[in-house]
Chain A
Amino acid sequence: MNPVLRKRSSLWQQLLARPPGVLALGLLGFLYLCALFAPFLAPYGPGDQDLQRTYHPPTGLTWTQEGLAVRLYENADPTQALYRPIPGKTAAIQWFPGGHSYRLFGLLPCRRHLFGVEPPHKVYLLGSDSTGRDVFSRLLYGAQVSLSIGLIGISISLGVGLIAGGLAGYFGGWFDSLVMRTTELLMAIPGLYLLLALRGAFASQFGSGEVYLLIVVILSFLGWSGAARVIRGLALSLRAQTFVEAAIVTGLSPWRILWRHLLPNLASYLLVAAALSIPGYILGEAALSFLGIGIQEPSASWGLMLAQAQEMKVFMCNFWWLLTPGAAVFVTVAAFNLLGDTLRDVIDPHFRTGSR
């Protein structure tokens, strides 16, 4: 009798009792909150250009009598995008200024932002890109795409994998063969080429919303096969358990057995699989956008922002701030992997079916 196993809610408690779990959950919570409140946190819109301030370095922050302020810069050499701070000249940071209007959570009309400076001046916390757009703002808006694509993608592919794999494992027979041969076909083709081919098949111009959906669908189409195979194996082994036989003898319908007896026993695996697979979707979106066939300008996504950073100029002139989306991808992926590993540590010792 293990007291740790007593209640199902103890999964949370166990996760929070482990420093890596707290770290991962904290990081992810912070990132998702940032994405959720992106229009409020970002001082500018994702497409607001300023051609006078291209490749502007991150503005320095100082403390003046008026409070926190940003340094002002002059463009010393436009050909090299060389900016120099003007000594002694600053613009005070305003808290909750009005700005461009947006809808918070897509619903509440709003004009307030967290911070900003008096209009002719600009605050670039993470510098600006080739058309003078604020990298910090675009990073926040990009997080909305990059972070949500993983969640939606994993829900679709785990859903499909659960239905296909669960039914294949439980019923067996021709359906089992069909599903398994299909997954083998999908897995036999190198992922990136299939991704490119599928994207190519829908090459015509789409709006950014449609492209977003398309990417999710393509990534899920590729992603369900692995999940389906593992779930089939688990369903197959669970099916042979006596408690499933007991349920049959009780007179439960197959659907009820799947829903009530197999699914709860798969839940721990699904949780770990989800946490460990989400990075694949984030990286997949980033790869597509990086190659120019994902999210389109002027929308922002981390992969698309990194695509900009592949210009030679960025390396020659050391515009390091354009690489921050890479850091964001890295932190997110690492946090999800950490979460998945910790979850597995919590779940695995007791429920060995959950191991991969």
Chain B
Amino acid sequence: MTNSTLSSPHPDPEPLSPLLLEVEKLAVRYPLPGGFLGRSRRFVEPVKGVSFRIRAGQTVGLVGESGSGKTTIGKAIVRLISPHSGEIRYRQERIDTLSGARLRPYRKRVQMIFQDPHNSLNPRLTIARIVGEPLEIHFPALRAQERRDRAAQLLARVGLPADSLDRFPHEFSGGQRQRIGIARALAVEPELIVCDEPVSALDVSVQAQIVNLLQDLQQELGLAYLFISHDLAVVEHMSDLVLVLNEGRIVEEAPPEELYRNPQNEYTRKLLAAVPSL
């Protein structure tokens, strides 16, 4: 199913842009508690064999209701979770088998923006430290002052004042914190950003600002996004290709116009019908 859709003329805005991420038959399992000596024989499988691809500069939307496995897929891609089976390849290199320091080159290319802006920033660190930390890891040649300057540039790029550097996360609003999270993700100069419900926790007016910021950054830096959301309107606005996820499986895969005009799958139709219209 995957290949046929991807090879169709619709999904890619620039069909020749290089393939970044290939996810093939990805499955994630968690053991259920119980069993003898912690050896559980029962599992939940939030993701059951999912395959898709992301090309450079492309935005792939991932929609589904709560519990459909969206976030789990995102976390597996950034390797916060190890997949149970299947393959994840990045620029033809398998990354689902790497661990520890060998993941580091990959971490420089793929970053994540988190849903909850209140928890995703360490309350005890200043913004300069938070944004400077990825620079420390991935650009070790930079000196402290250079890191600080770069952090200030990044903050300016996401629309935060320069005096934010020495402040702490609690001094910012939700939207501002999300901007800090974006600046942190941008610091490593990634190619792909996994956006895990980046606007779901924000006010509607702020949502639009963040979505526009993400789009501007994509234009400017040629970023690819995996945009995870339950908000169909936002996904439609953002994505070049939409994957509809239900109970850990991709049930439909289409460019947004097509999907919204002519949903093929029963579940997609239900999901679309559930969108409150104003």
Which residue numbers of A lie inside 8 Å of B, CB to CB? 1-2, 5-6, 241-243, 245-253, 260-261, 264-265, 267, 351
Closest Cβ neighbor of B169 among chain A residues: A243
B124:A246 contact, CB within 8 angstroms: no
Cβ–Cβ contact B108 & A261, under 8 A: no
Residue in A closest to B172 when the chains form the complex, CB atoms: A1
Q: Of the 9-residue stretches B113-121, B144-152, B229-237, B263-271, which lies at the interface with chain A?
A: B113-121
For residue B184, CB closer than 8 A to chain A, the reply is yes
Given A5-B168, A265-B124, A245-B114 contact (CB < 8 Å):
yes
- CB atoms of B188 and A250 under 8 A apart: yes
- Interchain CA distance A246-B188 in the complex, whole Å: 13
Across the interface, name the chain B residue whose C-beta is closest to A174.
Answer: B38
Evaluate contact between B103 and A242: CB separation under 8 angstroms.
no
Which residue on chain B has the smallest CB distance to residue A245?
B80
Task: Let me know if A251 and B122 touch, CB within 8 A.
Answer: no
Contact A264 B107, CB 8 Å, known A243-B120, A248-B80: no
Instruction: Pick the most buried of A2, A242, A265, A267: most chain B CB atoms within 10 A of its CB.
Output: A242
- Using Cβ atoms and an 8 Å threshold, which residues of chain B touch A261? 122, 125
* Contact status A246-B137, CB under 8 Å: no
Whether a CB of chain A sits under 8 angstroms from the CB of B170 is yes
Interface centre among A2, A5, A249 (most CB of B within 10 A): A249
Q: Which of A251, A260, A261, A267 has the most CB of B within 10 A?
A: A251
* A-chain residues with CB within 8 Å of residue B122 when the two chains form the complex: 243, 247, 260-261, 264-265
A-B contacts besides A265-B124, A351-B123, 7 pairs, CB < 8 Å:
A242-B116, A243-B122, A246-B112, A246-B121, A250-B107, A260-B122, A267-B124
Taking the closest CB of chain A, its distance from the CB of B178, in whole angstroms, is 12
B125-A264 in contact (CB<8A) = yes
Contacts of B138 in A (CB 8 A): 251
Q: Which of A6, A246, A260 contacts B184 (CB 8 A)?
A: A246
A241 to B101, CA, bound (A): 22
A246 to chain B, nearest CB (A): 5
The answer to whether B171 touches A6, judged by C-beta atoms less than 8 angstroms apart, is yes
The answer to whether B181 and A253 touch across the interface, beta carbons within 8 angstroms, is: no
Selected from A1, A5, A252, A265, the residue in CB contact (under 8 A) with B133 is A252
| Given A241-B119, A264-B124: A251 and B80 interface contact (C-beta under 8 Å) | no
- The answer to whether B134 and A250 touch across the interface, beta carbons within 8 angstroms, is yes
Given A5-B170, A242-B116, A242-B120, A249 contacting B111 (CB threshold 8 A): yes
The range of chain B's interface size is 20 to 34
- Chain A residues closer than 8 Å to B202, beta-carbon distance: none
The answer to whether B217 has its CB under 8 Å from any CB of chain A is no
Given contacts A245-B80, A250-B137, A265-B122, contact A2 B188 (CB under 8 A): no
Q: How far is the CA of A334 from the CA of B164 in the complex (A)?
A: 43
A241 cross-chain contacts in B, Cβ below 8 A? 119
CB of A324 to closest CB in B, whole Å: 44
B42 at the interface (CB under 8 A from A): no
11 residue pairs bridging A and B, Cβ less than 8 Å apart: A1-B170, A1-B171, A242-B116, A242-B120, A250-B111, A250-B133, A250-B134, A250-B188, A251-B103, A260-B122, A260-B125
CB distance from A171 to the nearest CB of B (A): 13
Q: Which residues of B contact A264 (CB under 8 A)?
A: 122, 124-125
Chain B residue with the shortest CB-CB distance to A241: B119
Please measure, in the bound complex, the distance between the C-alpha atom of A240 and the C-alpha atom of B265, giving whole angstroms: 36
- Residues in A neighbouring B108, C-beta threshold 8 A: 251
Contact B170 A251 (CB under 8 A): no
Chain B min CB distance to A18 (Å): 22
Q: B181 near A246 (CB under 8 angstroms)? A: yes
Q: In whole Å, how far is B12's beta carbon from the nearest beta carbon of chain A?
A: 26
A243 and B119 contacting across the interface, CB-CB below 8 Å: yes
Whether B124 pairs with A242 at a CB distance below 8 angstroms is no
Docked CA distance A250–B80 (Å): 11
Indicate if B78 sits at the interface (CB-CB under 8 A): yes
Is the C-beta of B104 less than 8 angstroms from some C-beta in chain A?
A: yes
**A265 CB contacts on chain B under 8 angstroms:** 122-124
Q: When chains A and B are docked, how far (Å) is the Cα of A252 from the Cα of B111?
A: 13
Q: How far is the CB of A262 from chain B (nearest CB, A)?
A: 10
**Residues 166-200 (chain B) with a chain A CB within 8 angstroms:** 168, 170-171, 181, 184, 188
Q: Is B107 touching A249 in the complex (CB atoms < 8 A)?
A: yes
Least CB distance, A265 to chain B, in whole angstroms? 6
Determine whether the beta carbon of A247 is less than 8 Å from that of B133: yes
In the assembly, what is the distance between CA of A258 and CA of B75, in Å? Answer: 21
Q: Complex formed: what's the CA distance from A243 to B78 in Å?
A: 14
Query: Please, how many angstroms separate the alpha-carbon atoms of A264 and B122 in the complex?
Result: 9
Please tell me if the beta carbons of B101 and A253 are within 8 angstroms of each other in the complex.
yes
Residues of chain A within 8 A (CB-CB) of B168 are 5-6
Give every chain B residue within 8 A of A250 (Cβ-Cβ): 107, 111, 133-134, 137, 184, 188
Q: Closest approach, in angstroms, between the C-beta of B133 and any C-beta of chain A? A: 6
**A251 touching B116 by the CB < 8 A rule?**
no
- Given known A-B contacts A1-B171, A6-B168, A246 and B107 have beta carbons under 8 A apart: no
Compute how far the CA of A56 lies from the CA of B181 in the bound complex, rounded to whole angstroms. 72
Contact of A251 among B115, B120, B137, B181 (CB under 8 A): B137
Closest 7 CB pairs of A and B: A251-B107, A264-B124, A242-B120, A242-B119, A243-B122, A250-B134, A251-B104
Looking at the assembled complex, report how far the CB atom of A40 sits from the nearest CB atom of chain B, in whole angstroms: 41
Q: How far is the CB of B28 from chain A (nearest CB, A)?
A: 15
Q: Are B137 and A252 in contact (CB under 8 A)?
A: yes
